[in-house]
A = this chain, B = another copy of it.
Amino acid sequence: MSEAFYTIVMGLRGFIKEYFHSFWDYETPKVMVVKNRTLGVIYRAVQFLVITYFIWYVFISQKAYQETESRPDSSVYTRMKGTAVHGDDILDTVEYARPSEGGDVISTLLRREFTYDQRQGTCAEYFNVPNANCTTDSDCVEGEVDFEGHGRRTGRCIQYYNHTFKTCEIQSWCPIEEYAVVREPPLVEAINFTVFIRNSIHFPKFKVLRGNIKRADYRKTKRYLNKCHYHEDTEPYCPNFRLGYIANKARENFTELCRTGGVIGVFINWDCNLDLDPSHCKPTYSFRRLDLRKDEDNSGYYYRFAKYYNKNGVESRTLIKAYGIRLDIIVHGQAGKFSPIPTIISTVTALTSVGICSIICDWIMLTFIDKNEVYSDRKFDEVIKEPIEHIPTELSYISSFGSNHSDLSEGVPL
């Protein structure tokens, strides 16, 4: 125990002493230079590939020398514009855009289904609800609330409105939507509605603030920004987007959208290389439908709301099932700027990767080229387990000449 401890302490002491003694020495690995053209060509070719890969792909294409920041702070303000005439009904932005506050989700009505003059009372349940069909009162359980139904059953079996068959009576908002619904034709003029989108982003790490409305545009008359319509090629800086343009770019049929409604994503993408001037940092827009639409039952977008009023002292409502387009403004951003840390990490990785070339070339050299073991003799200096200790001085002198092959060391005549 104390023996081992002593050895460790001595080892450490020796190590520390040695360390301080040789602190100012410079150590550099010994290198064997192989003057073999084949090997040199292979070595340089592999090196060239690795370096090219790093310079082209990692540094130029992936910009690995940049510190990046993604998902900037984003603020979106939206406002719908346009007027539609629907029979004698005029719809302006207050009527069709919801919610009115103008955040990053805005929807516009395209088609409405009205159920007028509903009030709380009793009426016949919809015939398609399970167990709603009845012939006598005993078919209807009083107080039962069916999950798919519209209200609580009163226990009576009554005529289904002006039809001949009967369904259970329920306590509900009457008449029920399925019976009394009035479908309006779609608001096809909505194809010309525009949505004004103002987006400003901020990269907190780089302290860069950008907006999607160009400064230069500000100096133009207010009329320009009111009149222009965004177009990828001709008007890339106009912040007014026609619904028809959006639907088209999202590869959707506007007439079909009017029928089922839909959710469309407006993607604003900021890809900023801040090594250039921030003014080069401009948004690109893309549009994609977000609700899956393989089956019509489950895609589409609609919601219900009601307008309440007092009719002869009774609270009444007009129930509106509204199909529409919901625009989700989704902002993506990424900024990159030169920074020493990723540069150093990438460079070190690159340099280290060059070391892989040596592994490959060593293997080739030792296996295919080195037939007479000349290279391996020189590269590998084998030291046997039990070093020859008590050699006469001259021999020791000779043997300590860096002989590289154990056979040789072993072959020294004692």
- In the complex the two chains form, is A263's CB within 8 Å of B77's CB? yes
- Say yes or no for A79: interface residue by CB 8 A criterion: yes
- In the complex the two chains form, is B31's CB within 8 Å of A25's CB? no
Chain B, residue nearest A267 (CB): B73
The stretch of A156-164, A246-254, A277-285, A396-404 that contacts the partner chain? A396-404
- Say yes or no for A68: interface residue by CB 8 A criterion: no
Residues of B within 8 A of A230 (CB): none
- In the complex the two chains form, is A11's CB within 8 Å of B368's CB? yes
- Known A-B contacts A24-B37, A382-B33; the reply to A341 vs B62 at CB < 8 A is yes
Assembled-state Cα–Cα distance A12/B94 (Å): 77
- Say yes or no for A310: interface residue by CB 8 A criterion: yes
A332 partner, pick from B32, B204, B344, B353, beta carbons under 8 A: B204
Assembled-state Cα–Cα distance A44/B401 (Å): 29
Assembled-state Cα–Cα distance A156/B165 (Å): 54
- Known A-B contacts A34-B26, A35-B385, A218-B295; the reply to A349 vs B353 at CB < 8 A is no
Interfacial residues of chain A within 70-123, with CB under 8 A of chain B in the complex: 71, 73, 75, 77, 79, 81-85, 88-90, 92-95, 98-103, 105, 107, 120
- In the complex the two chains form, is A402's CB within 8 Å of B378's CB? yes
Assembled-state Cα–Cα distance A353/B348 (Å): 6
- In the complex the two chains form, is A363's CB within 8 Å of B211's CB? no
Residue among A26, A227, A389 facing the most chain B CB atoms (10 A cut-off): A26
Interfacial residues of chain A within 352-383, with CB under 8 A of chain B in the complex: 352-353, 355-356, 358, 361-363, 365-368, 372, 374-375, 377-383
- Copies of this protein, total: 3
Interfacial residues of chain A within 14-44, with CB under 8 A of chain B in the complex: 14-15, 22-37, 39-44
- In the complex the two chains form, is B120's CB within 8 Å of A88's CB? yes
- In the complex the two chains form, is A100's CB within 8 Å of B22's CB? no
Interfacial residues of chain A within 276-314, with CB under 8 A of chain B in the complex: 288, 290-292, 294-295, 297-298, 301, 303-310
A-B contact pairs, 24 of them (CB 8 A): A23-B44, A24-B37, A26-B33, A26-B39, A27-B32, A30-B378, A32-B380, A57-B341, A58-B341, A73-B265, A73-B267, A73-B290, A77-B326, A83-B149, A83-B151, A88-B120, A88-B171, A100-B305, A215-B294, A218-B294, A219-B295, A352-B352, A381-B402, A400-B405
